[in-house]
């Protein structure tokens, strides 16, 4: 399994945004979205082409972190002058400080040439305006613990742990015992916290879970 790049920032899962601008009769239709693989980004680009089949150019950029080595960065000018479209779009993605996002801009040519400088501004600003809207999450890991309690303890413990930031992931009921599976907040000492609240009930760490925590 690839190593996880903890602490990296991503757009929230499912985020996407669209925008449109017009410069000297050229129409720029932009889409930016959270993606978790290069294949997902390619599918996003293909969908945008299908939505805007009459556009002369469909320029793209992506940054995807698969967890092994540095993030993958790609861009395409799709027939625009080299460096005038995909590069500025990629620079806008990089400037956001986020990974796992992609952008595509469809351009309907309006008959007036914008020049390389004009294209750089148009494509870069179209993407920058979208990624500025993205809600951000940080990648982290949380410890998962399993604890066995009697029924009376379970009800009391669940409420106390929830108030202290723990998340109940699962529970199973036996004749006289309840088994809880809990995700413990990072600032807590899980063993000490569980021992304190359960009066020493059997508890064990069973693994880690990757989570995405919203930033303020």
The string of pLDDT tens digits covering residues 127-179 is: 999 999 999 998 887 888 888 887 777 777 778 888 877 788 888 888 778 88
Number of helices followed by number of strands (H, E) in the chain: 5, 10
Average pLDDT of the chain to the nearest whole number: 88
Q: Give the residue extent of every domain in the chain.
A: 9-134, 138-214
N-to-C CA span, the chain: 31
Question: Residue 100 — very low, low, confident or very high, per pLDDT cuts 50/70/90?
Answer: very high
Closest CA to 103 of 33, 39, 20: 33
Q: Which residues contact 98 (CB under 8 A, 6 or more apart)?
A: 9, 10, 11, 63, 131, 134, 136
Distance between CA atoms of residues 29 and 140, nearest Å? 34
- The matching CATH number, chosen from 3.30.70.240, 3.40.47.10, 3.40.50.1220, 1.10.1060.10, for 138-214 is 3.30.70.240
Give residue 169's pLDDT: 84
Confidence of residue 38 (pLDDT cuts 50, 70, 90): very high
For the chain, the helix, strand and coil percentages under 3-state DSSP, each to the nearest 5: 30, 40, 35
Q: What is the pLDDT of residues 50-95, one digit of tens each?
A: 999 999 999 999 999 977 678 999 999 999 999 999 999 999 999 9
Q: Is 104 helix (H, G, I), strand (E, B) or coil?
A: strand
- The two tokens of residue 44 are 């996003």
Q: What's the rounded Cα separation, in Å, for the pair 71 and 67?
A: 8
Question: 9-134: which CATH topology?
Answer: Ribosomal Protein S5; domain 2 (3.30.230)
Q: Is 138-214 the same fold as 9-134? A: no
Q: Comparing 15-29, 168-182, 193-207, which segment has the lowest mean pLDDT?
A: 193-207
Pairing of strands 178-184, 136-149: antiparallel
Confidence (pLDDT) at 15: 97
Predicted structure pTM score: 0.78
Residue labelled with tokens 């698969």: 66
Q: Tell me, what's the pLDDT at 146?
A: 86
| CB neighbourhood size of 108 (10 A) | 15
């Amino acid at each position: 399994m690839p190593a996880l790049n903890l602490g990296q920032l991503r757009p929230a899962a499912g985020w996407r945004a669209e925008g449109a601008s017009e410069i000297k009769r050229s129409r720029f239709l932009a889409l930016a979205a959270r993606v978790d693989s290069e294949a997902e980004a390619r599918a996003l680009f293909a969908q945008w082409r299908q939505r805007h089949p009459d556009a002369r150019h469909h320029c793209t950029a992506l940054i995807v972190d698969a967890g092994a080595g540095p993030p993958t960065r790609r861009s395409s000018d799709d027939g625009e002058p080299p460096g005038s479209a995909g590069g500025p779009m990629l620079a806008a993605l990089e400037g956001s400080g986020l990974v796992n996002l992609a952008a595509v801009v469809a351009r309907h040519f309006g008959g007036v040439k914008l020049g390389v400088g004009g294209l750089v501004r148009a494509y870069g600003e179209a993407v920058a305006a979208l990624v500025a809207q993205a809600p951000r999450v940080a990648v982290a890991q949380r410890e998962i613990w399993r604890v066995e309690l009697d029924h009376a303890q379970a009800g009391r413990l669940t409420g106390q742990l929830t108030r202290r930031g723990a998340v109940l992931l699962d529970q199973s009921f036996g004749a006289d015992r309840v088994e809880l599976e809990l995700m413990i907040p990072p600032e807590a000492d899980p063993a000490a916290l569980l021992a304190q609240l359960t009066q020493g009930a059997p508890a064990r760490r069973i693994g880690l879970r990757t989570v995405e925590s919203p930033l303020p």
